[in-house]
Structure 1
Amino acid sequence: MNSKKIIHLSTTQKIMLSFLCAILVGSFLLALPISSATGEAVPYIDALFTATTSICVTGLVTVPTYSTWSVWGQIVILFLIQLGGLGVITVMYGVMMGLHRRLGLGNRWMLQDVFNLNNISGIVKFLRKVLIGTLVVEGCGALLYMTVFVPEYGLRGIWISIFNAVSAFCNAGMDIMAEDSLCGYIFQPMVNLVTMLLIILGGLGYIVWWDVLRVLKNIRSQKLKCFRLLTLHSKIALTVTGILIVVGAAAFYIFEYNNPLTMQDYTVPQRIWASLFQSVTTRTAGFATIPQEDLTNTSAIISVLLMLIGGSPVGTAGGMKTVTIAVLLVSMFATIGNKEDAELFGRNIPKQAVNKSVAVVGMFFIIATLSAILLSAVTEADVIDIVYETVSATATVGLSRNLTSMLNLWGKLIIIVTMYLGRVGPISLVVAFSTQKKNKNIVKNPTEEISVG
């Protein structure tokens, strides 16, 4: 009698495989001659790189997006960006809901893990709100973009506006206008403002969206108390995001003030505008209004730090996340101050959150460090350019100091793997911690004291 062995995949394995399958299918479609603007097939390594950077919403490109790909190729890229921004499993279950198929308990558990929620109560409603909210925000962004791009590009401006809106909201940083990203629109207020708003909204995360809307909907008076009514998660995400944007912009303003390659000849308002955009895009959008290779080394280091931090959980941005860094810092200061618990906004931080933060930060530094070492072994680029590239890939940012297009085969493969691990790694860690929480009946080894520090 033949017996069939049933393979049961964990949630982590399903997430990693879903992204991998999407990358492979996307690379196959992009490798077809129909996807190329010239009608000749693009080398597979570049198709694979583009599919990976799209599904991982990174934005690093080895070939110019606007001139390499046909309209069909750009449609494939846009679909991959949307798929990667929302998450493959999220979109898959969204399609199931659209087909009026009921999500079973297993599907709901998986969605809980993907969205990093505490329970499955209302998970289907949450998914529906995520999909609708995404389409509404991207649609509004596209309409605002059209006020600039349609007069400039005609009917093609509609497609450019849609592409840019999805790319900005999903923090992908890819555009189909020019090879130098948005450098031609550095002082265009509408393009800058819409792009920054989409980046910030996508990076804040859906949990913050609904929490803010809940407070605004229920409050009738005493507007100043709105912030106090938010959950601890939203308070941390909004506060850290605001601080990073302001401090980052101030830093870029100071260190680029006399840089002849960037802001030396700008007026004060122009310097403020350019500094603000650089501060926002480094977390983790990838659009650029200033050539990144022209930045001073100090500004490059600040950009690296902002890229590593990234956006907030359960959003479209990458990086270690604002809440992760906040939890890690307050935990560190609590330990230094010999306090038993880490506190934020009058609330104790759960030990599980602290452990998860340590794991996420450690994972990011391991991936970025290994990637930088390997990339330095196969390329002759400057160290600052290599670090910038690998951190950008790990945090799925997409900013580059003009190194991506010059990578050799090994360099491209290293960055492909780095982008993939940078995208699925944090999600996998979140799911792993959630699984541990569900399975508490685990035999533990004896504890023994060790010396640390």
Structure 2
Amino acid sequence: MVRWFSASPPRTLLLGFVFIILLGAQLLKLPVSVTDGKPMPYIDALFTAASATCVTGLVVEDTGSYFTTFGHAVILLLVQVGGIGFMTMATLFALILRRRISLKERLILQESLNQGSIEGLVRLVRKVITFALAIEAIGAALYAIRFAFDMSIGRAIYHGVFHSISIFNNAGFDLSGDFSSFSAYSSDLYMNVVSMLLIILGGFGFIVLSDLFDLRLDLKRRLSLHTKVVLIVSGTLIVVGALIIFLFEFTNSQSIGPSVLGEKALASVFQSVTTRSGGVTTVDISNFRQATQFFIIILMFIGSSPGSTGGGIKTTTFAVLVGAVLAMIRGKDDVVLFRLRLAQERVYKAVTVTLFCIGIVMLGTMILCTTEDAAFLKILFEATSAFGTVGLSMGLTGELTTPGKLTIIVLMFIGRLGPLTLTYALAPKLERARYRHAEGKIIIG
């Protein structure tokens, strides 16, 4: 068994996440974690721990009122470790203790950070930790300033730190109470802007943040292709998403319909941003029109960017798929982005990831349709939100049966770990084929 898990970095990564979730569940199950002093049911503790570690935000109990300060601290620690990555945190402690990072540890880091090589990994880890702590500290201060108008200074700082870490890591946990998320701040421009910036920065990925930081230091330096694609696709999806939500919900009296024009626009932009893996919301999504809800499912499925705290198939995968379709329509052999040709292996991987993700969401949805008594769109929304580690819900989470909770836990785990990493971890070691079959032809389309 030990040899099985030590055989490859993906398997070590899988084991690490499982261990953290189980440890978190045990801590949340303790009476000291719950306000009423009664032990939390193990399945609910496991669900909450998985949701926090997988930075999802789906909850069966209201975080603000159900858990004590100790419980909040456990959730926050799980979110931080899950968002940045447990190997990144372990490397940080190793660096503090001045311990040498072994080759195996570098390979696991490479898998954890979704990098193509082990070159410069330790330097990247330092940047990841620095960026994360700096952004979370600034976010906590900005939140605390606003919360200070509604509560005591000490409580405002407490809420500021919790929400900054949760939202930057795209976890979606909040202390608002009564499952209300940020609905009380739906028209508050300050809170909306701070929250959106944290979600966007967390969703860009540390590779992009590092690239942008290096550009600030050297203006002659060019952005990498990865960074360009992430910025363009992310910006496009946010704008297009906001426009569609605004148009679909403009006259909906149950959502943004009664609001003035400016508040409608603000709510639409916020929902477009948070559906990409944020998890917090200022409007009750269950009151949206079905067309809007289905469009949000598409945004959740695309998700954030590689190496980020979010899930989904990732913006770069979506960009490669669109590029492949356009190349096929134009009769081109190569997929070209920003005048650079992509290797066929990248295109194959994008198609593979997308088909894997579609299959996983479909399977999860079918299981939930069997175990839960709810409308199909509601179930599909929940399954996609769990797999995309988004954390948005149309109200199904609190009604889930035990088999339904276990299904959501698995979806969150696969979404955070990544379908390909999970496949590499479970599959036997593959050897490169020493021959190629003769070419055959089939009719497509």
Matched, 1:254 2:252: no
> Cα deviations across residues 388-423 of structure 1 (Å, max 9, x unaligned)?
000000111000001101111111111111111111
Instruction: Check the 8 A contact 1:114/1:431 in 2, yes or no.
Output: no
1:41 corresponds to:
39
Q: Does the 8 Å contact 1:144/1:190 carry over to 2?
A: no
Please say if residues 12 and 108 of structure 2, whose CA atoms lie closer than 8 Å, have aligned partners that are also in contact.
Answer: no
Other-structure match for 2:408 = 415
Separation in 2, partners of 1:430, 1:212: 32
Q: Which residue of 1 aligns with 2:204?
A: 204
In the TM superposition, residue 149 of structure 1 has moved relative to its aligned partner by 1.1
Report the CA distance between 1:188 and its aligned residue.
1.4
Number of equivalenced pairs: 439
Identity of aligned residues (%): 38
Calculate the aligned-residue CA RMSD, in Å.
1.9
CA distance in 2, matches of 1:429, 1:333: 30
Instruction: Report the Cα offset of residue 233 of structure 1.
Output: 0.6
Is the CA contact (8 Å cut-off) linking 1:278 and 1:288 kept in structure 2?
A: yes
Q: Structure 2 regions of 5+ residues with no counterpart?
A: none
8 Å Cα contact 1:113-1:430 kept in structure 2 = no
Work out the CA distance in 1 between the residues paired with 2:443 and 2:129: 46
Counterpart of 1:22 in structure 2 is 20
Match of 2:440 among 434, 441, 449: 449
Equivalent residue number for residue 333 of structure 1: 326
Question: How big is the shift at 1:6?
Answer: 4.7
> In structure 1, how many angstroms separate the alpha carbons of the residues matched to 2:404 and 2:420?
25
Q: Which amino acid aligns with 2:398?
A: S
The TM-score normalised by the length of structure 2 is 0.95
User: 2:278 is matched with which residue?
Assistant: 285
Q: Equivalent residue of 1:152, what SS?
A: coil
- Report Cα offsets for 1:272-309 as digits up to 9, x if no partner: 10000000000011101000100101110110010001
8 Å contact 2:372–2:400 — kept in the other structure? yes
- Whichever residue aligns with residue 155 of structure 2, its letter is R
SS of corresponding position for 2:418: helix
2:185 counterpart residue number: 185
User: 1:145 touches 1:161 (CA, 8 Å); kept in 2?
Assistant: yes
| Letter in structure 1 aligned against 2:311 | G
Classify 1:6/1:85 alpha carbon distance in 2 versus 1 (closer, same or farther; 3 Å). closer
Moved more, 311-320 or 106-115: 106-115
The CA deviation at 1:84 is: 0.6
Letter in 1 for 2:203: G
Shift of 1:337: 2.3
SS in 2 for 1:159: helix
Runs of 4+ deviating beyond 6 Å: 429-432
Counterpart of 1:114 (choices 112, 116, 119) is 112
Equivalent residue letter for 1:331: A
Letter aligned with residue 126 of structure 2: R
Q: Deviations over 1:230-286 (max 9, x none)?
A: 111111000000000001001111000000101111111101100000000000111
* Cα distance change, pair 334–189 in 1 and its aligned pair in 2 (3 A): same
Q: Structure 2 vs 1, CA of residues 447 and 24 (structure 1 numbering), >3 Å: closer, same or farther? A: farther
Compute the displacement of 1:74 (Å).
0.6
Write the deviation string for residues 369-401 of structure 1: whole angstroms up to 9, x where unpaired. Answer: 011101011111111101100000011100000
Which residue matches 1:388? Answer: 381
Match of 2:57 among 49, 56, 59: 59
Cα offset, 1:448, TM superposition: 3.9
- Whole-angstrom distance in 2 between the partners of 1:450 and 1:14: 41
User: Offset at 1:452?
Assistant: 4.8
* Closer, same or farther: CA 443–255 of 1 in aligned 2, 3 Å: same
Counterpart amino acid of residue 239 in structure 1: I
**Secondary structure at 1:338's aligned position in 2?**
coil
Alpha-carbon distance change, 33 to 447 in structure 1, aligned in 2, over 3 angstroms = farther
- 1:59–1:172 CA contact under 8 A, matched in 2: yes
CA contact (8 A) 1:181 1:287 kept: yes
> What are the residue-to-residue correspondences of 1:137-152 with 2, within 5 Å?
137-152=135-150
Say whether 1:135 aligns with 2:133: yes
Q: Do the aligned residues in 1 keep the contact of 2:110 with 2:118 (CA within 8 Å)?
A: yes
- Cα 1:427–1:101, aligned 2, differ >3 Å: closer, same or farther? farther
Change (3 A) 1:231 1:370: same
Deviation at 1:326, TM superposition (A): 0.3
Secondary structure of residue in 2 paired with 1:288: coil
Please say if residues 145 and 190 of structure 1, whose CA atoms lie closer than 8 Å, have aligned partners that are also in contact: no
The answer to whether the Cα contact below 8 Å between 2:52 and 2:79 also exists between their aligned partners in 1 is: yes
Partners of 1:356 and 1:430 within 8 A in 2: no
CA contact (8 A) 2:277 2:311 kept: yes
CA distance in 2, matches of 1:45, 1:429: 23
The 5 Å alignment of 1:213-232 reads 213-219=213-219, 229-232=222-225
One-letter amino acid matched to 1:79: L
CA distance in 1, matches of 2:173, 2:58: 8
Q: Which amino acid aligns with 2:272?
A: S
Equivalent residue for 2:393, pick from 390, 396, 400: 400
Alignment of 1:289-304 (within 5 A): 289-304=282-297
Offset at 1:85? 0.4
Q: Partner letter of residue 184 of structure 1?
A: A
Q: In structure 2, what is the equivalent of residue 176 of structure 1?
A: 175
Task: Identify if the C-alpha distance between structure 1 residues 257 and 42 changes in structure 2 by more than 3 Å, giving closer, same or farther.
Answer: same
More displaced stretch, 364-373 vs 205-214: 205-214
TM-score by length of 1: 0.93
| CA distance in 2: counterparts of 1:6 and 1:231, whole angstroms | 39
Letter in 1 for 2:213: L
